Structure 1
């Protein structure tokens, strides 16, 4: 099982309608904050010598779509509008305000807003104008000017202006989630040249490849609206935005539904044609994964991506599936598989020694779990870019990697240079307590100074080695409890503490845990956003996604090298170097992955592709559509 997507932290973004935006600002396209483009489509013009003017931007190659494109190739431009898309979310929510630390925002709350640029589901390195029809910038990207569409309107009919863009930047930086300060640290100024022209100027020493795309990804808020509304207060009132959806209904903590706006100003733009096809998008909330599955079987919602291997292997035998009213299928997933594991909280002194962290990781017997719990459906994760041939480190460091790593050698474990990229040892699948692996773990703890006392537990300087694994899901108990058993065999006073979703969210915001399970959907074009996950700057920022509490100057400098890469080859090499370093530091206990989407849904949908979705997303809530003929067949059969 993976952690459900409602719980995972996603560092990808595709269209404005798909932005959950409950985290620090992320790139507008799938991938890192986009970078210096070395080639452009023929429709790009040079406004002045060295100044580029275009309808979009690509990082390391030409844009696929020219300025006169009619729609993205992967959509059905004639898709019917109507019906409801419904799915599920884990946990709870008490807010529709996604950009502040206070409260827990509902999934999908970013659909109220538009951004200056938007991406697509095919090109990890490209972005096109949404609120802006044109952008202009010099080759070195020290500034960018966005020319905005005069037809852009907020929900109340007022125009979206450059002043709203400036206001959005300022209020997010001053009063938004603390991580916005790190996001905007290299912005020098943002100014409205006139009502429809806004200029961002960046600090020359900043990661210039990234900053243009950061600016293009800012959600644009209404300045006039917040003259009478307190931005810092969480609320269940729908905020004023210019996006494609409005609030349909809200039942706090239980369900949230958004309705498509017939008067959405951008519905016929090429970047939106064939998208946002459902009249209503609804998410039902559950505090338990098994309860959510039972509700799906009973028809409480229509679409489910399955992350439980046990449920996938044994649970899909109910009457609606047998009758063909529910479709079950496996679809290709073209993205890196994600970074899922048990994450240490390195802010705690007991985890300061990497030998302790490695020993703890050895107590997790993946092979036993995969055979006994997961029906053999998963592979072991070892990389932070698992399932990516170009970004995942392997073997000994290459000469190109060493050229990056050697100047930073003092910051990293020596094994980065002497050993192959770290891969967890294979344990016996037939024996949870594989003595060979546990003996190795015990020796590491001995070397770290944690000695076994008469009570069978380990102590160092009078302190007992304790480890609490924070858990908010009953269905995850079956994974954590065997891990805890092995930790106890090592003399570690380990416990699994299951709390409700609200407490878990608050404790994670404030870094109040020893170890927590989390999944990051990593980018195919990583960049400066990595500092939010691994950077020193965010280690003490409440609500940041630096789950591990990693603070290492060498890692910070590697992230900057990634952000400054001038070619795809340079980027890939730098990411491989970072992957190698992170794995050698043992900041997590890697779990498992699968390179496919396992989905089930009521047979009421149409979609513009067969078995092969766009590489970056299924697009189920945006580019799929309600098929009324299919729905009527289910109604006639009493199945809908």
Structure 2
């Protein structure tokens, strides 16, 4: 539950025109926070009551909004959309940290402040959340607590009411039985929840901490039926197939974890007429078809076993969609704009591995990844190289730091390495696109390895400083696309060519999931979450406290510098301060060198049987094909009359 944040009220004013340096800004921010805490006790009348929440500025949608701007409020209800999953599943509980569950398992559950399982809601604004299970919330301007007033009409799918007792129970359940990194972070910030009556509850927040990611955190917790857990004795930290009833628009209708999962729209869904839901949840059913590998999945799409495919394989996108159903117009291929920052994916270093404790070794391995050759030879030149954790956003660090970012970094003193301030931010080096093995980069990599004590023996094999063979284990999922496999196999060949012994462990998804959770690897293809704002979720992803066990921090990064930057971002009192500090965070993460950046696509690539429609303008923060697309009955009839689909 990593949250986004903005605000509905203006914080206590600070005269930033009189603050000359970012060191002063941070002191002023701390003073303002202390002033806010003091004023709350003196001025309890400074209350905010709202139909939604954000941390900065006003909400886009007023209390009497009728629907989100990007949806079609007249979208028809009906039909089915079906999508693929590649790999194996063995659970319907994604919260336990055990087994492998699909996203469909969270569809039945809602929260006080609504969101959507596969996209933001609303998807046209950043950092705003609106009441779903609640009808309003109230809090003092400095946010020492928040009270939620719940909708009396809210019901679970079994007909029982959703109450404040269920919300409080669910919050505490995640603290007592949820992921440790989550529970540790939340318990320190949210010490108490109190049920005031059946439809009202109050969350208390710790003193002396940032008010960020508190209201949106408690507002975003999935709400379970306390009655179900009491009656079944089920634990959140255990695997389950049949889970508790939810209150959402879909219920789980069919589960066969070797073949498919089917969601059905609940005809008695309590919230179907809410403005929050108008134009959304349009399909009668959503079906997931499970395949062992991507080749079988693509053949299944061509055969009509499922009807919608979000494509990530550039080779397939460029060459594989020339089949009769596409040529005849029965299957559409579209590239739709994607306004979200790309996922910071890469070849991640396990920083607990002895060789990777020396940054020169990590730098050497990065030099051997030839993106330019890979893009031209394997990816059909359809991608751009990702450089940043906030790629193509205003938060992306550029060149050497200047202005407010520079002053902030200078204010951190000795925590900031001189070279991070005086030199340009890390950008992956360009390699020779004409051949996979770039000799110039290989010489540079060899020099770094030699300097780090990983020299070459008489047979051309690299040895550790202790004289042992330099051997790495590269964990990889066998369910990955053939293109991705080819990319990584060629990268491994480059490492082997400079004398490093690499075991390329392509294992099934069950083994992959377990080994990844256990950090049983030296290298792994994985990702971090991008960020557009400050939030306590940054601590889960990049912070030291949970570095040894956080599932969101596959490198195990533990950096006092990164910790301090995150703390400073959480204390920012204006969006301008926050942006400068988060730009510094991007710079610091790139300096820490925790992964080899891969590539990104500025568009959504989708292919689907021509029975679906979508808004003319896709919102920036969500493609929304399971959310606000809809089914066209006439088009569907044409496909079936032509024998294209059954």
Alignment TM-score, normalising by the size of structure 1 = 0.91
Contact kept? 2:301, 2:309, Cα under 8 Å: yes
Instruction: Tell me how far apart the structure 2 counterparts of residues 465 and 623 of structure 1 sit (CA, whole Å).
Output: 52
**Number of residue pairs the alignment of both structures matches:** 603
Rg comparison, structure with higher value: 2
Aligned to 1:81: 77
Contact kept? 1:276, 1:623, Cα under 8 Å: yes
Aligned to 2:10: 38
Post-superposition Cα deviations, 1:377-406, rounded to whole Å, max 9, x if no partner, equal 111111111121x01100111231223323
Instruction: Tell me how far apart the structure 1 counterparts of residues 152 and 144 of structure 2 sit (CA, whole Å).
Output: 26
- Of 451, 454, 467, the residue aligned with 2:455 is 451
Q: Does 1:465 align with 2:467?
A: no
- Of 394, 399, 403, the residue aligned with 2:407 is 403
Q: Which is helix-richer, 1 or 2?
A: 2
Q: Does 1:225 align with 2:221?
A: no
Give how far 1:556 is off. 1.2
Give how far 1:297 is off. 1.0
- Of 49, 56, 62, the residue aligned with 1:53 is 49
Give how far 1:140 is off. 1.4
Post-superposition Cα deviations, 1:553-582, rounded to whole Å, max 9, x if no partner, equal 221121122223222211211111011111
Instruction: Tell me how far apart the structure 2 counterparts of residues 414 and 506 of structure 1 sit (CA, whole Å).
Output: 40
Give how far 1:35 is off. 5.3
Instruction: Tell me how far apart the structure 2 counterparts of residues 37 and 415 of structure 1 sit (CA, whole Å).
Output: 39
Aligned to 1:204: 207
State the SS of the aligned residue for 1:451.
coil
Contact kept? 1:247, 1:259, Cα under 8 Å: yes
Give how far 1:407 is off. 4.2
Give how far 1:38 is off. 2.7
State the SS of the aligned residue for 2:301.
helix
Aligned to 2:31: none
Post-superposition Cα deviations, 1:210-254, rounded to whole Å, max 9, x if no partner, equal 111001001111111101221232111132211111111111133
Aligned to 1:606: 613
Instruction: Tell me how far apart the structure 2 counterparts of residues 413 and 290 of structure 1 sit (CA, whole Å).
Output: 47
Listed as ranges, the gaps of 5+ residues in structure 2 are 12-39, 115-120
Instruction: Tell me how far apart the structure 2 counterparts of residues 307 and 241 of structure 1 sit (CA, whole Å).
Output: 32
Contact kept? 1:413, 1:584, Cα under 8 Å: no
Instruction: Tell me how far apart the structure 1 counterparts of residues 296 and 202 of structure 2 sit (CA, whole Å).
Output: 50
Listed as ranges, the gaps of 5+ residues in structure 1 are 1-24, 40-45
Post-superposition Cα deviations, 1:254-291, rounded to whole Å, max 9, x if no partner, equal 32111111111111111111111111111122232222
State the SS of the aligned residue for 2:63.
coil
Instruction: Tell me how far apart the structure 2 counterparts of residues 116 and 263 of structure 1 sit (CA, whole Å).
Output: 20
Aligned to 2:290: 285
- Of 205, 214, 219, the residue aligned with 2:217 is 214
Aligned to 1:191: 194
Instruction: Tell me how far apart the structure 1 counterparts of residues 529 and 610 of structure 2 sit (CA, whole Å).
Output: 28
Aligned to 1:540: 548
Contact kept? 1:142, 1:204, Cα under 8 Å: yes
Q: Does 1:153 align with 2:158?
A: no
Aligned to 2:97: 101
State the SS of the aligned residue for 1:235.
coil
Instruction: Tell me how far apart the structure 1 counterparts of residues 6 and 291 of structure 2 sit (CA, whole Å).
Output: 35
Please list, as runs of the form range in 1=range in 2, the aligned pairs for 1:420-569 lying within 5 A after superposition: 420-459=424-463, 460-472=465-477, 473=480, 475=482, 476-541=484-549, 544-569=551-576
Alignment TM-score, normalising by the size of structure 2 = 0.90
Aligned to 2:591: 584
Post-superposition Cα deviations, 1:114-156, rounded to whole Å, max 9, x if no partner, equal 1000231111121110111111111111211111111111111
State the SS of the aligned residue for 1:108.
helix
Instruction: Tell me how far apart the structure 1 counterparts of residues 338 and 573 of structure 2 sit (CA, whole Å).
Output: 27
Contact kept? 1:37, 1:57, Cα under 8 Å: no
Please list, as runs of the form range in 1=range in 2, the aligned pairs for 1:221-300 lying within 5 A after superposition: 221-229=224-232, 230-231=234-235, 232-300=237-305
Post-superposition Cα deviations, 1:150-187, rounded to whole Å, max 9, x if no partner, equal 11111111111111111111111111122321341311
Q: Output the aligned Cα RMSD.
A: 1.8
